[in-house]
Amino acid sequence: MSIKLVAIDLDGTLLNDHHEINLPVVESIKAARAAGVYVVLSTGRPLSGTKAQLEVLGLTNADDYIITYNGALVLNTKTWDIVAEHSMTRENYLEIDHLARLLDVHLHVADKKAMYTANRDISPYTVVESYLVNMPLHYRTPEEIAENITAVKMMMIDEPEILSAAFKKIPAEYFEKYTLVRSSPYFLEVLNPNASKGLALKELSEHLGIQQSEVMAIGDAENDLSMIEFAGTGVAMGNASEIIKSAATHTVATNLEDGVKEAFERWVLN
């Protein structure tokens, strides 16, 4: 079957090391979209953190969609209508806040509009993330966050060695109650257990009436694994982790060498 929907990770996949999209990649995506293929960014970022990329690629029309927050929220990019949502409860937040304090790591949470932290000593990585995804950052007490914020995503953030040590101390039951994903050496994302890029891609495919065999997913990191496994054609970037390469159907060039363009030319445009 031909490919009708392509899901693409952002950082380390679509973007080069300067957080830009190489022109040959832009041209191949626009050609696929003009041919009627759905092209969907699949990212840990919120919609506000992808506006520049969506505009460059021309993916801002009434029939364009995006997978955000690592699958916790699937939206139409023009209307912001929700296709699927898997958010967290106040009890979830309080439990994860308590765990982060026991592990002595920073934590912030995000809803659809902003980021929030109860850490008076705000992590510089939280500040950078706020800038990167173009969302305002607010300090609130744990009680205020629990009562007033519906968290879509929570993130433990810290120096890689601190986060790695903390990760090993997380009790096993948390891995059953939540989706926990290392999206970068600095970030450990905590999501609704039903939230993943793979499930979001499945939900969007069903919404659009597209078969699993007609889906291609391209990624490089651990948080891309579920969508690589779901897609009929799973593509690993040349710079991907070995876990992703082992799960993928194919491997292409790196994000610096236009690997996404290669994937489109080989399995979508050809």
Count Cβ atoms below 10 Å from residue 151 Cβ, excluding itself: 24
Sign of CA dihedral 176, 177, 182, 183: positive
What is the enclosing helix (H) or strand (E) of 110? Answer: strand 106-110
- φ and ψ at 68, to 5 degrees? -115, 170
Q: Which two tokens stand for residue 175?
A: 């891995």
Number of DSSP helices (H) and strands (E) in the chain, helices first:
11, 14
Structure tokens at 244: 């992703």
Non-local (6+) Cβ contacts of 144 within 8 A are: none
d(CA 194, CA 229): 16
Say how many CA atoms lie within 13 Å of 24 toward its Cβ: 12
By annotation, the residues acting in catalysis are 9
